[in-house]
C-alpha cells in the first residue's frame, strides 16, 4: 500500500519534473556539448541536398540513418521511385502513446552566386545576421562555446536540418539524464518535401501500418515572428493554376491594328479585376461559402497570437491591408486568391509596340480545411465563364475555336495540396500545449491555421491522426532564399522543446 502511494507520488513528481524542471538539465547538457552538436550539424549541412541531386541526397539519408541508430533507433532506408525515405523507430516499454516525428532532409535549389559565402554547402558561422553587419567567425569548429546570437549559414540550416539535429540532441540530453521518452518514437525523414513529397505520398498504402501513430509532429517552419515558442494546428492548402487569355495568333503592330484587334492583356486584366474587390474580398460566387463563421472562442484564440501589425506594415512598406478578416490571423482562416505572376509582351528596354498574342496570369488559391480544391476550381471556372470567356483546359485554341469564340481563356498547370487543421481541444493538442507551457513557463503561441502550406495532408488523411507543427527556427532565416541561416540560440532552445515533447 505505502509502496504504491510512493510510486504514484514519484510518477507525479516525475511528471512535474518533465515540464517544470526539464529545461535546466537539458540546457546544461547543451552548454557542455556545443562543439559536438555543431560538428554533427555541420557534417550534415555539408552534404548537398537539392532533391534533383540524387546521389548526394542518398548520402544524406545514409548519414541520417546512422545518426538515428546511434540513438538506439532501428532505422531503415525506404526505397521509392524518387529519393529514399529514412524511417526509424524507438520502442519504449510502458510507452503512453506513439509519436511520429516528420522532418525533411532535402533543401530548396540553390543559386551559389547569390550567397555571401563560398558555397551553400560549406557552412559559415557569423556573429550576427548578415543584413545587420554579421561577420564571419573563422575556424568555428574549434569553438567550445558559441555566441547565442551567432548564426550558421548554409542551405537547409533551418529548413529543415536544424530540427533534425535538435531532435537527436534532445534524445542525447535525456539519455545523459537517464531518462527515456515517455512515448514510442517514430521518425520519418522526407527527401522530397521541397518537390511536394511525391514519393512519401506513394508509400502510404504500402507502409500505412509502419507509419501509424497517435500524434504526428511536423518539425518544420519558423517560430512566430515574436520568437516565442509556437504550435501550429493547421496549414492552408494551395490550388495553383495558370490562366491564359488569347489574342491574335501572333503579335500584331499596335499602330496598324490598335482600336480594332482585341488585346488579350485587356481581356485578362478585366477578368482578374472582376474576381476581387478593392478591399481584397474575392468576388467569385461561393468563394467563402464553405467556411463557417469564426466562433467567439476561435476569435479569442486568434486574437491571442502576439502579431504586431504596425511593425509588419512598416517592415513591408505597405500603406493598407486587405479586409478579409479583422486581423492577420483571422485573414488566414479564409481562402485567398492571389496573382503570383503576370506576363504579356515585354517591358522595359524589350518593350515593343505590339498587341500581344497572349496574356498569362499565375494564380494561387490558398485553401482552408473546409474548402475542397476541385470545388474551388469549379467556382473559379464558373466565374470565368460568366464573364463571357470560353474556357479550354490545358489546350491551345484551334482556328475553328478562334473563329467561334470572341473571348478564350485557357486553364492549365493545375496542382493542389489540401489544407488540414487539428482541433486544439483534442487531448493530444492540449497535452502538447501544456508540455511546452511547462518547459517555458508560458503558453506557446497557438496558430489555428498557418498561412502557408505543408504538403502532408495525404499523410494525415490516410492515417486519420492529428498532426501539429512544432516549429523552432528563427523567423528571419531566409528560408528558400539565398543566405539561409539558423540562429544558434534557436538551435539550443529547440533541444529543450523537443526534450519536453519526448517526455510529455
Q: Which of residues 407-426 bind its own copies (CB under 8 A)?
A: 407-408, 413
Q: Which of 126, 129, 161, 236 binds its own copies (CB under 8 A)?
A: 236
Our finding on whether 207 is near its own copies (CB under 8 A) is no
Which among 99-107, 188-196, 267-275, 491-499 is the span making contact with its own copies, rule CB under 8 A? 267-275
Which among 57-65, 78-86, 295-303, 340-348 is the span making contact with its own copies, rule CB under 8 A? 340-348
Q: Which of 265, 294, 468, 499 binds its own copies (CB under 8 A)?
A: 265
Hey, is 74 helix, strand or coil?
Answer: strand
Enumerate residues 6+ apart whose C-beta is below 8 A from 139: none
Distance (Å) of CA 360 to CA 204, 327, 339, 393:
36, 31, 10, 14
Our finding on whether 342 is near its own copies (CB under 8 A) is yes
229, 441 contact by CB (below 8 A): no
Which among 124-132, 160-168, 370-378, 446-454 is the span making contact with its own copies, rule CB under 8 A? 446-454
Give the Cα separation of 190 and 211 in Å (integer).
13
Our finding on whether 242 is near its own copies (CB under 8 A) is yes
Query: Rounded to 5 degrees, what angle do the CA atoms 115, 118, 122 make?
Result: 100
Our finding on whether 131 is near its own copies (CB under 8 A) is no
- Minimum CB–partner distance for residue 255 and its own copies (Å): 3
Our finding on whether 181 is near its own copies (CB under 8 A) is no
Enumerate residues 6+ apart whose C-beta is below 8 A from 306: 224, 226, 228, 445
Our finding on whether 274 is near its own copies (CB under 8 A) is yes
Our finding on whether 334 is near its own copies (CB under 8 A) is yes
Our finding on whether 147 is near its own copies (CB under 8 A) is no
Give the Cα separation of 94 and 457 in Å (integer).
30
Find residue 363's DSSP bridge partners. Answer: 241, 339
- Minimum CB–partner distance for residue 359 and its own copies (Å): 6
Our finding on whether 348 is near its own copies (CB under 8 A) is yes
Which among 136-144, 263-271, 291-299, 427-435 is the span making contact with its own copies, rule CB under 8 A? 263-271
Enumerate residues 6+ apart whose C-beta is below 8 A from 489: 148, 149
Our finding on whether 320 is near its own copies (CB under 8 A) is yes
Identify which of residues 350 and 425 has a Cβ nearer to its own copies in the complex: 350
Using a CB cutoff of 8 Å and minimum separation of 24, what contacts does 133-138 make?
none
- Minimum CB–partner distance for residue 10 and its own copies (Å): 45
397, 391 contact by CB (below 8 A): no
Contact flags string 278-307 toward its own copies, x per CB under 8 A: x-x---------------------------
Instruction: Extract the C-alpha cell encoding 139.
Output: 575556424
Give the Cα separation of 446 and 187 in Å (integer).
24
- Minimum CB–partner distance for residue 471 and its own copies (Å): 12
Find residue 87's DSSP bridge partners. Answer: 76, 188
As to burial, measured by CB atoms within 10 angstroms (0-12 exposed, 13-18 middle, 19+ buried), residue 167 is: buried
Our finding on whether 340 is near its own copies (CB under 8 A) is yes
Instruction: Extract the C-alpha cell encoding 233.
Output: 494546428
Our finding on whether 17 is near its own copies (CB under 8 A) is no
Our finding on whether 450 is near its own copies (CB under 8 A) is yes
Our finding on whether 339 is near its own copies (CB under 8 A) is yes
Q: Which of 207, 405, 440, 458 binds its own copies (CB under 8 A)?
A: 405
Identify which of residues 181 and 345 has a Cβ nearer to its own copies in the complex: 345
DSSP-derived secondary structure letter, 331: H
Amino acid at each position: 500500500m505505502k509502496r504504491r502511494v510512493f510510486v504514484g507520488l514519484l510518477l507525479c513528481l516525475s511528471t512535474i519534473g518533465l515540464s517544470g524542471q526539464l529545461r535546466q538539465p537539458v540546457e546544461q547538457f547543451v552548454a557542455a556539448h556545443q562543439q559536438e552538436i555543431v560538428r554533427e550539424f555541420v557534417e550534415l549541412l555539408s552534404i548537398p541536398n537539392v532533391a534533383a541531386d540524387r546521389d548526394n541526397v542518398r548520402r544524406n539519408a545514409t548519414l541520417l540513418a546512422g545518426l538515428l541508430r546511434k540513438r538506439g533507433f532501428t532505422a531503415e532506408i525506404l526505397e521509392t521511385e524518387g529519393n529514399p525515405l529514412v524511417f526509424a523507430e524507438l520502442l519504449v516499454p510502458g510507452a503512453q502513446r506513439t509519436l511520429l516525428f516528420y522532418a525533411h532532409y532535402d533543401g530548396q535549389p540553390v543559386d551559389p552566386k547569390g550567397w555571401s559565402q563560398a558555397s551553400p554547402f560549406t557552412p559559415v558561422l557569423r556573429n550576427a545576421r548578415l543584413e545587420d553587419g554579421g561577420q564571419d567567425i573563422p575556424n568555428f569548429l574549434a569553438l567550445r562555446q558559441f555566441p547565442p546570437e551567432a548564426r550558421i549559414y548554409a542551405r537547409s540550416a533551418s529548413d529543415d536540418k536544424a530540427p533534425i539535429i535538435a531532435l537527436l540532441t534532445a534524445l542525447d540530453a535525456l539519455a545523459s539524464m537517464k531518462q527515456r521518452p515517455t512515448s514510442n518514437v517514430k521518425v520519418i525523414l522526407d527527401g522530397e518535401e521541397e518537390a511536394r513529397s511525391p514519393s512519401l505520398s506513394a508509400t502510404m498504402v504500402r507502409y500505412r501500418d509502419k507509419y501509424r501513430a497517435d500524434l504526428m509532429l511536423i518539425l518544420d517552419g519558423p517560430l512566430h515572428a515574436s520568437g516565442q515558442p509556437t504550435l501550429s494546428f493547421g496549414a492552408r492548402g494551395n490550388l495553383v493554376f495558370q490562366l491564359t487569355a488569347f489574342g491574335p495568333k501572333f503579335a500584331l503592330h499596335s499602330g496598324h491594328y490598335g482600336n480594332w484587334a482585341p488585346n488579350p492583356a485587356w481581356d485578362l486584366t478585366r477578368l482578374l479585376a472582376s474576381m476581387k474587390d478593392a478591399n481584397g474580398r474575392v468576388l467569385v460566387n461561393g468563394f467563402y461559402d464553405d467556411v463557417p463563421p469564426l466562433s467567439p472562442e476561435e476569435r479569442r484564440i486568434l486574437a491571442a497570437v502576439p502579431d504586431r501589425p504596425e511593425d509588419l506594415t512598416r517592415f513591408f512598406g505597405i500603406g493598407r491591408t486587405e479586409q478579409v478578416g479583422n486581423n492577420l490571423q483571422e485573414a488566414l482562416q479564409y481562402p485567398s486568391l492571389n496573382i503570383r505572376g503576370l506576363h504579356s509582351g515585354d517591358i522595359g528596354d524589350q518593350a515593343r509596340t505590339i498587341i500581344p498574342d497572349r496574356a498569362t496570369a499565375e494564380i494561387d488559391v490558398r485553401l482552408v480545411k473546409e474548402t475542397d480544391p476541385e470545388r474551388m476550381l469549379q467556382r473559379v471556372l464558373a466565374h470565368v465563364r460568366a464573364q463571357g470567356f470560353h474556357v479550354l483546359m490545358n489546350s491551345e485554341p484551334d482556328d475553328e475555336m478562334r473563329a467561334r469564340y470572341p473571348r478564350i481563356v485557357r486553364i492549365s498547370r493545375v496542382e493542389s495540396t489540401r489544407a488540414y487543421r487539428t482541433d486544439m481541444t483534442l487531448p493530444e493538442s492540449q497535452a502538447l500545449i501544456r508540455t511546452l507551457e511547462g518547459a517555458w513557463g508560458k503558453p506557446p503561441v497557438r496558430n489555428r491555421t498557418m498561412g502557408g502550406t505543408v504538403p502532408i495532408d495525404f499523410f494525415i488523411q490516410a492515417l486519420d491522426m492529428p498532426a501539429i507543427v512544432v516549429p523552432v527556427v528563427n523567423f528571419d532565416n531566409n528560408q528558400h532564399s539565398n543566405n539561409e541561416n539558423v540562429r544558434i540560440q534557436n538551435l539550443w532552445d529547440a533541444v529543450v522543446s523537443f526534450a519536453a515533447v519526448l517526455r510529455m
